[in-house]
Amino acid sequence: MLALTPGPILAHTGSVPATTTPPQEKKGPEFKLEKLSDRAYCLYGRGGNVGFLVTDAGIVVVDDQYEEVAQGVVDQIRSVSERPIRYLVNTHYHGDHTGGNPVFVKFAEIIAHDTVRPRLLEYPETVKKTFPDKVRRIQEEIDRIKDATDPYRIALDKDLGLLNFLLKDALDYDPAKAAPPGLTYDGSVRLWLGGQEVDVLHVAPGHTDGDSMVYFAGQKVLHMGDLFFNGMYPFIDVWAGGSALGYVKNIDRILSIVPADTRVIPGHGPATDVATLKRFRDFMSDLIAAVEKAAKGGKSKPEAVRTITMDQYPEIKPQSRTLGNEISVIYDEIAPAR
């Protein structure tokens, strides 16, 4: 790992719009602050959960929601401590986790995986060029299914809405006003601040191709970013390199590192414990196995969506994604030729 000391303040300005969260998630802002240890906190608000660690030499923040609420995030942090915010880690590129970068870049060094910077600066152009055709093809597939209650059609409807949302964001997005990370890493990076250890790890593509997990080692608090959706089906952003198999790889790696009494901050949903993270991991693994069995048995993707259930995990519910969306992504990943 690379040990870091406080570096120069970056000079980027601008705004980073939402890139994944549907409009209904942007109501508010209403914040809720939860203390997880002597020095570590979780802040719930509009978008992805914010984690932060207060040290004697300053504060490390994980994710920053949207630009329009970022000052509120800063104010919530300063209600706990007036120490300077020294570092911000973006767990991935999506706008509900990076939208506040233009505010934070004025006083903090921004850290993320290597792929996050080009995702913020270059990916919107790819979206504008390629997503219209994806939208057209999904709409054609929807039109061929007459039953509006068909689980496969419902999943396609969700994909269509999400693609249209992402396309609109890309059309409205100005990369010149972005505040991308000024410090990027590949496998892992270790930050020391005020005697506190902060480990930032990337294992494999999961939610996107650039996910970070952030572990406040001395406090036994872990921020999973969107590699963990607590109580809901995850969004596997295959358009940005995401992988269902990678979800399991990431969780297995972090479970081999953190102790059993670690507190866990998910990207979305309430902070919880390691047992709940393990349960989510088992859900993903069992779902992958069910899709593999269906594919090997000769079922098509629509047939797999219509027949696979995960009733043994009643606490994991649809929100922005349905079980059909998860099955479709996994099927495409493990049986692309079918």
- List strands edge to edge, sheet with 263-265: 3-4, 188-193, 196-201, 213-216, 221-223, 263-265, 272-273
Where do the structural domains in the chain lie, given as residue ranges?
Answer: 3-120+175-273
pLDDT of residue 176: 84
CA 201 to CA 31: how far, in whole Å? 27
Both tokens of residue 301?
A: 């993707």
What mean pLDDT is reported for the chain?
Answer: 91
Tell me the one-letter amino acid at 88.
L
DSSP summary character for residue 232: B
β-sheet bridge partners, residue 223: 214, 265
3-state DSSP: the chain helix, strand, coil percent, rounded to 5? 40, 20, 40
Domain 3-120+175-273 in CATH 3.60.15.10: yes
Consecutive H or E run containing 188: strand 188-193
| Start-end of H helices in the chain | 67-78, 95-98, 101-104, 116-121, 123-143, 151-172, 244-255, 274-296, 301-307, 323-334
CA-CA-CA-CA dihedral for 62, 67, 71, 76, to nearest 10: -40
pLDDT of residue 174: 87
Per-residue pLDDT tens digits for 56-89: 999 999 999 999 999 999 999 999 999 999 999 9
Low-confidence residues of the chain: pLDDT under 50? 1-27
Question: How does strand 109-113 pair with strand 85-89?
Answer: parallel
Is residue 196 within 8 Å of 3, Cβ to Cβ? no
Classify 256 as helix, strand or coil: coil
Q: What is the pTM of this model?
A: 0.90
pLDDT of residue 335: 86
